[in-house]
């Protein structure tokens, strides 16, 4: 009795696969056509075996090990990337926040220097055996001259932060 031959489309439908899959295997020579038709016995014996082997392997131990290995590799890559990111993040600061801080710091230091004569005037006057008011006047004059020489602290702090 002659074997039943099927069209590629019919064979694909019966095996529950896409027509393109069958066409691909025909092109690669795994499925050999007889008068332009598929011989189901030949096709099942060649491509069918490969297909069953592939699908059955997916749930076996080797497949599980392979999946676990991929996860371990992905996990290691993720940890490395996170570590690299954290390390780099610690090396940089937000410039806007740094500028704000620099300005605040300069204001604080300047205010401290300007208030220093009043805070130290009494001790200073006692050391020199002069009146506290004179001591204050001397220190204020001194700090005025010193701060003039130092220049605009706030501008310097902002400029340094912009340069960094």
Partner 1 sequence: MAIEPTPDTLLKLQTELNVVKAQMTDMQTKIHQRKLCELARLQRFTTDRAHRIRDQLFAAPSRHAAQIAAEEGLEPALLNAAMVRFVREMLCAAAKLRV
Distance in Å, CB of 1 to partner 1, minimum = 46
Closer residue to partner 1 (CB): 49 or 146:
146
Would you tell me how many other CB atoms lie within 10 Å of the CB of residue 75? 10
Distance in Å, CB of 134 to partner 1, minimum = 7
> Burial of 90 by CB count in 10 Å (0-12 exposed, 13-18 middle, 19+ buried)?
exposed
Distance in Å, CB of 94 to partner 1, minimum = 6
> Burial of 8 by CB count in 10 Å (0-12 exposed, 13-18 middle, 19+ buried)?
buried
Closer residue to partner 1 (CB): 20 or 69:
69
Q: Which residues pair with 6 in a beta bridge?
A: 38
Closer residue to partner 1 (CB): 35 or 86:
86
Closer residue to partner 1 (CB): 54 or 163:
163
User: Which residues of this chain interact with partner 1, rule CB under 8 A?
Assistant: 67-68, 70-72, 74-75, 77-78, 81-82, 84-85, 88-96, 98, 101-102, 104-105, 108-109, 112-113, 116, 120, 123-124, 127-128, 130, 134, 138-139, 141-142, 145-146, 149-150, 153, 156-157, 160-161, 163-164
Query: N- to C-terminal Cα distance for the chain?
Result: 89
Q: What is the DSSP string of 16-64?
A: T--HHHHHHHHHHTSSPEETTEE-HHHHIIIIIHHHHHHHHHTTSHHHH
Asked if residue 160 lies in contact with residue 98, where contact means CB atoms within 8 angstroms, the answer is no
Distance in Å, CB of 27 to partner 1, minimum = 32
Distance in Å, CB of 37 to partner 1, minimum = 39
Closer residue to partner 1 (CB): 61 or 149:
149
């Amino acid at each position: 009795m002659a074997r039943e031959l099927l069209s590629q489309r019919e064979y694909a439908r019966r095996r529950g696969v896409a027509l393109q899959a069958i066409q691909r295997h025909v092109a690669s020579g795994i499925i050999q056509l007889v008068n332009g038709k598929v011989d189901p016995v030949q096709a099942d014996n060649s491509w069918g075996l490969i297909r069953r082997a592939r699908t059955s392997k997916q749930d076996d131990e080797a497949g599980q090990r392979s999946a676990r290995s991929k996860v371990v590799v992905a996990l290691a890559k993720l940890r490395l990337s996170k570590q690299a990111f954290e390390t780099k993040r610690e090396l940089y600061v937000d410039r806007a926040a740094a500028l704000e801080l620099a300005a605040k710091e300069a204001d604080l230091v300047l205010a401290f220097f300007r208030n220093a004569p009043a805070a130290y005037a009494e001790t200073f006057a006692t050391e020199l055996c002069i009146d506290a008011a004179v001591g204050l006047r001397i220190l204020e004059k001194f700090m005025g001259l010193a701060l003039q020489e130092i220049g605009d602290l706030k501008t310097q702090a902002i400029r340094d932060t912009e340069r960094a």
